[in-house]
Amino acid sequence: MELGYNFLHCFFYLFYRSLFAAKAVNKENVPNKGGVIIAANHLSNWDPMLISCFIKRPIGYMAKQELFDVPLLGSALRTFHSFPVRRGTVDRTAIRTAINKLVSGECMGVFPEGHRSKTGELQQAATGVALIAAKAAVPVIPTAVINTNKIFGSGSFFPKICVAYGKPIYYTSASTNRAELQKFTDMIMHEIQNLINSCKT
């Protein structure tokens, strides 16, 4: 990993481990090479760094365009191999960028819900991740993050947090019609919910 990414990777690993007793479950499910999508629930802005800091390979993220205009944050996002996506529309440029990165063997993080959950519960997911997985022909790793929405929050300033990586799943349908994409999206979200439940027990 390059110097900037490596520094932030180590910093956030120590940050999460020392302050929040963060643990990673089944990180061996993430392959060390080849294109792969990490598809996770989204609780807070702490999620991308938590998901990344336990994985040895770089993970790039699709992040909303507005974040890249914020000083320092925009630079940090680029260091983390992220690229912008315009929300509220079908951003074909972002989709093509994601597919090209995956085909070239990169690891990419996606939040299928498209926005942070205000309740902590899973929200309706868009089918974009299924389309990208189908077009790039890469596996999806369902991933759950736990308690990041409570970091520095009222009543739970230093919550114990967890990230759990599920087994890879593949888009196997010969069609990419909306019904098939929705079926695969529902499968991803079902696996994420199972991981959330297992981490809470």
Q: How many CB atoms sit inside 10 A of residue 190's CB?
A: 12
Give the structural domain span for 60: 3-200
For residue 201, what pLDDT band results from cuts at 50, 70 and 90?
low
pLDDT in tens, 64-110: 778 788 777 777 777 777 887 877 666 788 889 999 999 999 999 99
Q: How many CB atoms sit inside 10 A of residue 91's CB?
A: 17
CATH number at residue 131: 3.40.1130.10
DSSP string, 62-92: EEEGGGGGSTTHHHHHHHTT-EEE-TTS--H
Find the distance separating the first CA and the last CA of the chain, reported in whole Å.
35
What pTM was computed for the model? 0.91
Number of domains in the chain: 1
